[in-house]
Amino acid sequence: MKGVAKVARGKGNVELIDVPEPEARPGHVVIEVQAAGVCGTDMHIYHDEYPSYPPVILGHEVAGIIAAVGDGVTGWAEGDRVTAEPYFTVCGRCAFCRDGFPNQCPQRRSIGSGVHGAFTRYVLVPAQSLHRLPASVSTATGALTEPLACCVHALELTRVEPSDTVAVVGPGAIGLLAAQVVKAAGARVILLGTAADEERLALGRALGIDVTVNVQAEDALSVVTGLTDGLGADVVFECSGAERGAQLALSLVRRRGHYSQMGLIGRPIQWDLEQVCFKEVQVNGSFASVPSAWRKALRLLENGQVQTEPLVSHTLPITEWQEAFSLFEARKSVKILLTPA
């Protein structure tokens, strides 16, 4: 079968290669991929800014049907519609695993970076990573469960109250999902982007986001303080993964507010820690997801509180992966799905 793989370390070195179809092993299932999302992490791997173990097929956002079931697997059958958490290997014994945070396990290996991922026709995953897709959730929607779970996890780490005003910096797929999760929590949301994000900001408005701001046409700080009695946002989620976005986000958070870094930047940046001290800002990072966030994410999808299908701007076969990556880097897409060739 064909797969889009990082074949060697260094910038680029991604190719469409032939790999054997996986066989179901004990405790695992084989998913026939119906859709796999292109994520910023895939681009970081492309640029060699994120750990990977080549040669490895990329792609960790997946939805499909079970094609084969390994020995010892119960509760799952061929033909079941599923999505899967990306963690292929965790130790299960460390303090992080025991506390429900496999994303922090030092021995973690994930599909799409540590082992073969979903930019292909079949992917092998542990049965314990599976989640059943509700009947009301389409495959395209299901493929976005993973990024949605990442956003839910960020809110698990960051207390958001219904009375809060929350700024979300960066209206990409993660920002649009995070904004919807915050809305579902009852807070008021301000979504910020640049002139290049006008279509994404319009999509945010269509999804019910309260206020959108083009930071190149309006003074973002004036807008946010004007909506908050001069205080600033109670909580800021930085979703752009850009240095300027992180700097802007810090300027928007109120004194004694909360700053959450969701976007991966891929390199060290300049960031004013004195402002963190002066304003007594609580700062946390959020990385990937945990099982509790997946359960909540699927409930949000099933209840219609979060919409993901409007975010899918392109669906391309894996043979057109270069076009997909180019669209992503040029910011001419919102969410791109790849399908098997």
User: Given this model, what pLDDT does residue 141 score?
Assistant: 83
The residue type of 228 is T
pLDDT exceeds 90 at position 167: yes
Contact 164, 180 (CB under 8 A): no
pLDDT exceeds 90 at position 7: yes
User: Given this model, what pLDDT does residue 317 score?
Assistant: 98
Contact 41, 60 (CB under 8 A): yes
Spatial separation of the C-alpha atoms in residues 253 and 240, rounded to whole Å: 16
Contact 26, 72 (CB under 8 A): yes
Q: How far, CA to CA in Å, does 244 sit from each of 263, 270, 272? A: 12, 9, 12
Contact 159, 187 (CB under 8 A): no
Q: Which contiguous run of DSSP H or E holds residue 61?
A: strand 61-69
Question: What pLDDT, in 10s, does the model give residues 94-120?
Answer: 999 999 999 999 999 999 999 999 999
User: Given this model, what pLDDT does residue 248 score?
Assistant: 98
Question: What pLDDT, in 10s, does the model give residues 31-50?
Answer: 999 999 999 999 999 999 99
Contact 318, 339 (CB under 8 A): yes
Domains and CATH numbers, the chain: 2-144+308-339 (3.90.180.10), 150-285 (3.40.50.720)
pLDDT exceeds 90 at position 188: yes
The structure tokens listed for 270 are 């300049």
**Which residue from 175, 207, 178 is spatially nearest to 193, judged by alpha carbons?**
175
User: Given this model, what pLDDT does residue 338 score?
Assistant: 98
Question: How confident is residue 271, by pLDDT bands cut at 50, 70 and 90?
Answer: very high
| pTM confidence score | 0.96
Rounded to an integer, the average pLDDT of 119-133 is 98
Mean pLDDT lowest among 141-145, 149-153, 246-250? 141-145
Question: How confident is residue 140, by pLDDT bands cut at 50, 70 and 90?
Answer: confident
Rounded to an integer, the average pLDDT of 68-80 is 98
**Which residue from 210, 213, 261 is spatially nearest to 235, judged by alpha carbons?**
261
Question: How confident is residue 139, by pLDDT bands cut at 50, 70 and 90?
Answer: confident
pLDDT exceeds 90 at position 230: yes
State how far Cα 222 lies from the chain centre: 30
> CA torsion sign, 161 to 164 to 170 to 176?
positive
Alpha helices, DSSP H only, in 39-164? Answer: 40-46, 95-98, 139-143, 145-157
State how far Cα 21 lies from the chain centre: 27
